[in-house]
Homo-oligomer: A and B are copies of this chain.
């Protein structure tokens, strides 16, 4: 994990979606002074569960997985982060989960204390964080429905649809997906085994709803059907 002190904000590709979106260029310059850039290679760990939570981050490139482990090694991925996503809200003094790079990742690091000092000066920053937290809570509730009540195929369909929407929001077209994470990651995110995840994707392929030219690519053939399945509307 390397990091430099540089002026990344000016050329930031995700500024419109990031926390910083609420700041004026001049304010952004001030924020710049406390930001460090962080690079991670695939598999590298940004922080561990239980580490002191002294920084928050914004993903600028690549993908992060958040995960929690049980004593015996069972893994739950609590979220995937995409470029623009904010990271570090869900913590008190220590991080509540680990954050690992899926592919090559770049982030902005904000020292917690310094960022909070900024709140006095730019209260809109705090408002933005509350907004982000609120969105995350809504997403968390949806994930609880998924984990608690959806079948394997409903879980996988939901995942594909959500990923597709996310890609669309980034202007990437929501039909041809490039999944950066492995089947094991997806399974641990959906509360499924790797095998069930793979089998379910195979079944969706046989049913003509998706196509897997070559993993990591997946093409959504019948998004409307997938959406129905995702919402549990496709019969029992």
Contact = CB atoms under 8 A, between A and B. Distances in A.
A91 B149 CA distance: 22
Interface of A: 66, 68, 70-72, 74-76, 78, 89-92, 96-97, 119, 123, 126-127, 129-130, 133-138, 140-145, 147-150, 188-191, 231-233, 236
A147 B189 CA distance: 11
B138 A71 contact: no
A138 B90 contact: yes
A68 B148 CA distance: 11
28 contacts: A68-B141, A68-B142, A68-B144, A71-B233, A72-B233, A76-B144, A76-B145, A78-B141, A90-B134, A90-B140, A90-B141, A91-B138, A92-B134, A92-B138, A96-B141, A126-B130, A129-B130, A130-B130, A130-B133, A133-B137, A140-B140, A140-B141, A140-B143, A143-B144, A147-B148, A148-B190, A148-B191, A149-B191
